[in-house]
Amino acid sequence: MVVYQLADLDFALSDLPTMPVADRMVMTSPDHFSIQYVINPHMAGNVGTVDTARARAEWDALKAAFESCGTAVEVVEGMPGQPDMVFCANQTLPYLLPDGTRGVVPSKMFAPQRAGEVQYFRDWFASRGWSVVDGIALGDIEFEGMGDALWHPGRRLLWGGHGFRTDSAVYHWISTWLQAPVIALELNDPDFYHLDTCLCVLNEETALIYPGAFEPEGLALIHRMFARVIEAPEDEARGLFACNAHSPDGRHVVIQRGCAATNAALREAGFTVIEVETDEYLKSGGSVFCMKLMTW
């Protein structure tokens, strides 16, 4: 079932089957990270500006922050010629079926510059015994993995962004294959080109959002399904990627340093905030969430 309109939403979270929360993480080493082209608004003016030593230090600190929360991190080595591979949320959508099957849906990247990343991750997961779905790679349907498709913690439900990098038609197929309803959210601002830039699902009850990135109906859907919705101010969401944060355990929130208003709201809601620097990656249009992939 795919939900496109508020009127179609005929279930509550409590009606959905439970699902184990992903508790393992994949990160991709930044050995070959650089900005060589412009495929989103944040990259404009930043080609060739990455400080590689600083980028490595930021990546190491981010990995340490996740590990401090008790999350096991497995590292995939970055590949030459793939400067954006470090943003490893985008190449696949990991899934866990009701029968326990672990698999990934490979992406079909919007930008041809990133197409080569997908095969590497397909092979990496297959070598570890994961099922790899082939159907999504056929035709012209674009889909960018967990950049746009976010599992709801603890429930068999996906949030699906579309409008810039992912074709909404893909969610009919994904919903059927993964045996999970998908709540589709249309994005309307090119600065927030992936769902993970404007919606951070912190735990089963709480979401962090930038409301200006959504159509009114999308906002209504979010408020309908989450008991608590925290809103990041525009300057922090747009300039510091406040909503590209991540909570690996539903209690800690790892977030770009400097999001003062957002962090205050998170602390008031009972979360422990862990600030990190992702300045070099912000130049490329990514931050905390983009740089990891949760698995089972």
- pLDDT value for 135: 64
Assigned token pair, 209: 């959002």
For residues 227-242, average pLDDT: 98
- pLDDT value for 136: 62
For residues 99-109, average pLDDT: 96
What ranges do the domains of the chain cover?
A: 2-9+17-295
Q: Under DSSP, is residue 221 helix (H, G, I), strand (E, B) or coil?
A: helix
Instruction: Read off the pTM.
Output: 0.97
The pLDDT tens digits for 117-157 are 999 999 999 999 999 997 665 567 999 999 999 999 999 99
Residue 39 has pLDDT above 80, yes or no: yes
Fold of domain 2-9+17-295: L-arginine/glycine Amidinotransferase; Chain A (3.75.10)
Enumerate helices (H) and strands (E) in the chain, giving the number of each. 7, 15
Residue 67 has pLDDT above 60, yes or no: yes
Q: Are 88 and 121 in contact (CB under 8 A)?
A: yes
E strand residue ranges, the chain: 2-3, 24-28, 72-76, 92-96, 102-106, 131-132, 149-151, 158-162, 182-186, 199-201, 206-209, 228-231, 252-256, 272-276, 293-295
What is the rounded radius of gyration, in angstroms, for the C-alpha atoms of the chain?
17
Residue 70 has pLDDT above 70, yes or no: yes
Contacts of 216 by beta carbon, 8 Å cutoff, 6+ apart: none
Q: Mapped to the 3 state alphabet, what secondary structure does 29-95 carry?
A: CCCCCCCCCCCCHHHCCCCCCCCHHHHHHHHHHHHHHHHHCCCEEEEECCCCCCCCCCCCCCCEEEE
The pLDDT tens digits for 73-91 are 999 999 999 999 999 999 9
Burial 82-117 (b: 16+ CB within 10 A, else e): bbbbbbbbbbbbbbbeeeeeebbbbbbbbeebbeeb
pLDDT band at 7 (very low <50, low <70, confident <90, very high): confident
**Which residue in 181, 227, 193 sits closest to 207, CA to CA?**
227
Residue 223 has pLDDT above 70, yes or no: yes
Residue 1 has pLDDT above 80, yes or no: no
Distance CA 153, CA 63 (A): 21
Tell me which residues are annotated as active site.
Answer: 194, 290
For residues 9-17, average pLDDT: 93
- pLDDT value for 139: 65
Distance CA 252, CA 266 (A): 10
